[in-house]
């Protein structure tokens, strides 16, 4: 193993592992959703219950693990998260058409998978962000991510379309086994991570910090993210796409085409982005997002849906980078750096409360969601949530301090990664 990956450093190896795991997450959150819907005869209520249960279970898992996680246990938990993901895939492969009967246990398992994987993942990323390797981490991660968004949908759609979904879980299992094997590499060194167990008293201390006003606004923004773009929006988009294009292969071709166009537009957007006009760009993307949402509500067809996916793909990327980088920068300050685990728990709580509320609304509205036009009701709700997310994001950025412009560094990393995709130049 070490001979094969001897040239990799810790940063690159963790990125490769995460990107392999991301392939599985993409499969679960896209094509497996269609599989669930088919198995349940397009019963959106059952799917909503599955996601509500999974997000509640994920937070309970986050909170429980926070009390027991240790410095030595971070990497072990990371591996356990991958193992649970493999268990999830084996169960899906075994149950096949009977999967509808076990949606609640599967939802609990999905929550455990998320909790066991994302807590150590966040801690490992924070460890990298304390070192000089952070720039390389962002560049490689973004570059691979953009390649994945173009290639994975069409490849997975083709495999599912040709094999009637028989081979795709097996391929995901092989990817999971490879990820697990890589996680045992001795290249991964977590000595920099200093983990303190979660305590209620520490959460109270964190809430009383002077920096929490800005961090709190970011949490509210995360709530609206869970309510919309990180929650029911992804499911609504999958349902709409499948309704329009009728098969997993067409779903994959469409998603790959949209991803390719989005990457090209992002290259142009980021290339001309300057420090002085970042806030203007963010506001423009917010207005465009609102416009395309309203356009899709007014008229749902191939053209408006394509424009919606391209614009939201770009704007959500912009907003996510702003949120992630601001949180990381703020938590590296003297008065907040000892509350990393508390931040992970509170941020996940904000995100998952939004998700649970979003899918609860989808559950109660499911009786009328029997065609594309009826989806406009959900899209209208999502639009309101997106607007609120942008408002609170801007509110956080308006609190001026020396950390507000930190996200610009990450945009430069993204720009470098984008250029790397279109050339043979080295990232560094």
pLDDT on residue 405:
42
Distances, alpha carbon 248 to alpha carbons 38, 97, 222, 229, 255, in Å: 12, 17, 31, 22, 10
Question: Model's pTM, two decimal places?
Answer: 0.78
Would you list the domain boundaries of the chain?
10-421
Kindly tell me the burial class for residue 246, based on how many C-beta atoms sit within 10 Å of its own C-beta (0-12, 13-18, 19 or more). exposed
pLDDT on residue 154:
73
The Cα 161–Cα 428 span in angstroms is 40
The answer to whether residues 243 and 376 touch, using CB atoms and an 8 Å cutoff, is no
Place of tokens 């998700």: 355
The Cα 233–Cα 192 span in angstroms is 37
Task: Locate 201 and state its tokens.
Answer: 């008293």
CA 116 distance to own-chain centroid:
15
Task: Locate 175 and state its tokens.
Answer: 């990817």
The answer to whether residues 404 and 126 touch, using CB atoms and an 8 Å cutoff, is no
Determine the 3-state secondary structure of 209 from DSSP: coil
CA angle 42–47–51, rounded 5-degree value: 160
The Cα 63–Cα 199 span in angstroms is 10
The answer to whether residues 167 and 156 touch, using CB atoms and an 8 Å cutoff, is no
The answer to whether residues 380 and 298 touch, using CB atoms and an 8 Å cutoff, is no
Distances, alpha carbon 401 to alpha carbons 96, 208, 221, 347, in Å: 54, 18, 19, 21
CATH superfamily of this structure's domain 10-421: MFS general substrate transporter like domains (1.20.1250.20)
**pLDDT averaged over consecutive 10-residue blocks of the chain (428 residues)?**
48 81 80 74 84 92 82 83 89 78 88 88 69 54 71 72 68 90 75 67 73 72 81 78 70 72 65 57 75 80 79 72 60 65 82 90 72 67 75 59 42 49 46
Residue 224 CB coordination number (10 Å): 25
pLDDT on residue 279:
64
Residue 283 CB coordination number (10 Å): 12
The Cα 427–Cα 413 span in angstroms is 9
The Cα 57–Cα 107 span in angstroms is 8
pLDDT on residue 334:
62
Distances, alpha carbon 201 to alpha carbons 20, 35, 197, in Å: 37, 44, 11
């Amino acid at each position: 193993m070490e001979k094969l990956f001897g040239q990799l450093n810790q940063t690159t190896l963790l990125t490769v592992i995460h990107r392999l795991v991301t392939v599985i997450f993409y499969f679960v959150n896209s094509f497996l959703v269609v599989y669930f819907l088919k198995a349940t005869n397009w019963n959106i209520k059952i799917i909503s219950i599955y996601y509500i249960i999974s997000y509640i279970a994920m937070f309970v898992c986050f909170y429980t693990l926070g009390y027991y996680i240790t410095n030595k246990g971070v990497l072990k938990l990371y591996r356990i998260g991958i193992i649970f993901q493999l268990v999830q895939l084996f169960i899906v492969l075994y149950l096949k058409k009977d999967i509808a009967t076990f949606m609640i246990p599967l939802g609990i398992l999905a929550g455990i998978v998320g909790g066991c994987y994302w807590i150590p993942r966040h801690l490992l990323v924070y460890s990298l962000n304390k070192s000089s390797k952070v720039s390389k981490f962002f560049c490689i991660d973004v570059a691979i991510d953009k390649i994945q968004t173009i290639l994975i949908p069409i490849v997975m759609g083709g495999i599912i379309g040709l094999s009637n979904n028989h081979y795709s879980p097996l391929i995901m299992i092989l990817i999971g086994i490879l990820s697990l094997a890589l996680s045992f590499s001795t290249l991964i060194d977590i000595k920099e991570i200093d983990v303190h167990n979660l305590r209620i008293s520490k959460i109270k201390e964190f809430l009383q910090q002077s920096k929490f006003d800005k961090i709190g606004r970011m949490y509210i923004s995360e709530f609206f993210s869970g309510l919309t773009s990180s929650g029911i929006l992804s499911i609504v988009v999958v349902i709409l796409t499948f309704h329009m294009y009728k098969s997993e292969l067409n779903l994959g071709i469409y998603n790959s085409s949209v991803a390719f166009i989005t990457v090209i537009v992002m290259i142009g957007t980021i290339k001309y982005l300057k420090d002085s006009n970042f806030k203007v760009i963010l506001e423009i993307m917010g207005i465009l997002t609102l416009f395309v949402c309203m356009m899709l509500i007014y008229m749902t067809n191939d053209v408006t849906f394509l424009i919606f996916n391209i614009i939201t793909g770009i704007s959500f990327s912009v907003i996510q980078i702003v949120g992630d980088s601001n949180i990381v920068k703020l938590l590296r300050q003297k008065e907040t750096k000892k509350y990393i685990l508390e931040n992970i728990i509170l941020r996940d709580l904000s995100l998952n409360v939004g998700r649970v509320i979003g899918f609860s609304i989808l559950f109660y509205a499911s009786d009328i969601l029997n065609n594309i036009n009826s989806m406009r009701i959900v899209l209208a709700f999502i639009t309101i949530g997106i607007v609120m997310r942008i408002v609170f994001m801007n509110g956080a950025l308006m609190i001026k301090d020396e950390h507000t412009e930190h996200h610009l560094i990450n945009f430069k990393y993204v720009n470098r990664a984008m250029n790397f995709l279109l050339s043979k130049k080295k990232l560094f």
